[in-house]
């Protein structure tokens, strides 16, 4: 199965490092981040999971729950978490799914045979409260993810859902945003009282509306 943007993220039941998980129940009405790891006890993954744990408050502020996946078993996950906590000076509290039979990995297209026939690639999905897939990023196994970028995209997605805007290149929270061409300038002046800067009729900026 191939997951694409806008698809409904499939539900599943699985064992995890913190007990049995029903994915939809775990997410509830929150945003979600599901990310896969090639294997336990690997150095790049250890740094990623440690950094993700340190961002727990950041994700909570954004109403977002995190859940990881690896093709190893629960006992390995639980022992690995001890190593992560020790070496990364943190405390991993989010679940790590045990996917020894690779059913969830195959459901979410995390196995790329030309990269590895057995291990998952380093994929990450952002899933909105309606269970729609809003972001898919896949890295090679050797390259650690940039979680500052994940937070940036999450901020953008939540802003776009709340206001009729788009975010430009290299946008960060607090920067100006773009007014979509579907909104006339006359309408934009009413929608965005902080002001509208027109560069071209199709390229117009306004201060971020929610700050």
Coil, strand or helix at 188: helix
Coil, strand or helix at 151: helix
Q: In the annotation, is 210 catalytic? A: no
Helix axes 74-88, 43-54, angle to 10 degrees: 70
Catalytic residue among 14, 33, 45, 179: 45
DSSP secondary structure, 51-105, as one string = HHHHTHHHHHHTTEEEEEEESS-HHHHHHHHHHHHHHHTS---S-EEE-TT-HHH
Coil, strand or helix at 147: helix
Catalytically active residues are 45
């Amino acid at each position: 199965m191939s997951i694409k943007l806008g698809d409904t993220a499939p539900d599943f039941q699985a064992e995890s490092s913190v007990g049995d998980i029903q994915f939809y129940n775990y997410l509830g009405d929150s945003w979600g981040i599901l990310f896969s790891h090639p294997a336990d006890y690997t150095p790049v993954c250890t740094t990623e999971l440690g950094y993700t744990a340190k961002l727990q408050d950041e994700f909570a502020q954004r109403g977002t729950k995190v859940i990881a996946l690896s093709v190893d078993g629960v006992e390995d996950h639980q022992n690995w978490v001890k190593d992560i906590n020790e070496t990364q000076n943190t405390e991993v509290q989010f679940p790590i799914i045990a996917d020894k039979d690779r059913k969830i990995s195959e459901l979410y297209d995390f196995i790329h045979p030309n990269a590895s026939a057995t291990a998952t690639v380093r994929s990450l999905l952002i899933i909105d409260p309606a269970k729609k897939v809003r972001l898919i990023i896949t890295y090679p196994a050797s390259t650690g993810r940039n979680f500052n970028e994940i937070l940036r995209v999450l901020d953008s997605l939540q802003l776009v859902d709340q206001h009729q805007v788009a975010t430009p290149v290299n946008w960060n929270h607090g920067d100006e945003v773009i007014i979509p061409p579907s909104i006339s300038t006359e309408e934009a002046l009413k929608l965005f009282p902080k002001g509208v800067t027109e560069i071209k009729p199709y390229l117009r900026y306004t201060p971020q509306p929610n700050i």
